[in-house]
Amino acid sequence: MTDFLRNIMLDPTRPIRVLFVCLGNICRSPAAEGILRDVVERNSASAFWEIDSAGTGHWHIGQLPDPRMRSHARRRGIELTHICRVITTDDYDRFDIIIGMDRTNISELRRLAPSIEGARKVVEMREFFSPSATYDYVPDPYYEGHEGFELVLDLLEDACQNMYDTLTKIHQQ
């Protein structure tokens, strides 16, 4: 666990604000958003969370998630309805934690941060993987086949459940 996560302060009087970020904001980060929202809803905790996603790339602004990701997620009971957008400097103030999917996202998120405090909020998704995880990042599925999308959803489901448990405990302290 990074120092930031060990020391993160979450105001118990406000919702936990989580922003997921990937490159295109049409595959991994909107899927993470939908999966964490589903975990939160199943725990009747929607009032305590604000969840969003964004990309570092501009290609798909205004679009729904990739149809392949939507159909794989739907098979797991999750509807992805996010509209693609690019991360803004305001996001670094607004969110408590900004989660990137791979090393490239993390470098880009740190480069784009408007302040040291903002850069400190950037955390890699693998921090929430179970020890048994077979990957140490969330691979870009865009040029992959069905297995690539299933792998991403497996990794995200594991990480989002662990994130829910970890951040809920800190929020309630």
Catalytic residues: 22, 28, 140
Mask of contacts with ligand 4NP, 86-125, x by CB under 6 A?
----------------------------------------
Stretch that binds ligand 4NP, among 26-34, 43-51, 107-115, 121-129 (CB under 6 A): 26-34
User: Counting contacts by CB under 6 A, is residue 25 touching ligand 4NP?
Assistant: yes
Alpha-carbon separation of residue 15 from 51, 64, 77, 110, 172 (angstroms): 10, 26, 25, 24, 11
The minimum distance between CB 45 and ligand 4NP, in angstroms, equals 26
DSSP strand pairing (122-124 vs 16-22): unpaired
Q: Give the C-alpha separation, 161 to 138, whole Å.
A: 15
Q: Which is nearer to ligand 4NP, 38 or 144 (CB)?
A: 144
> Smallest distance, Å, CB 138 to ligand 4NP?
8
Edge-first strand listing for the sheet containing 122-124:
49-55, 16-22, 97-100, 122-124
Structure tokens at 32: 């993470």
Site for ligand 4NP in 129-158 (CB under 6 A): 140, 142
**Closest listed residue to residue 104, CA positions, set 138, 133, 141:** 138
Binding site for ligand 4NP (CB under 6 A): 22-28, 59, 140, 142
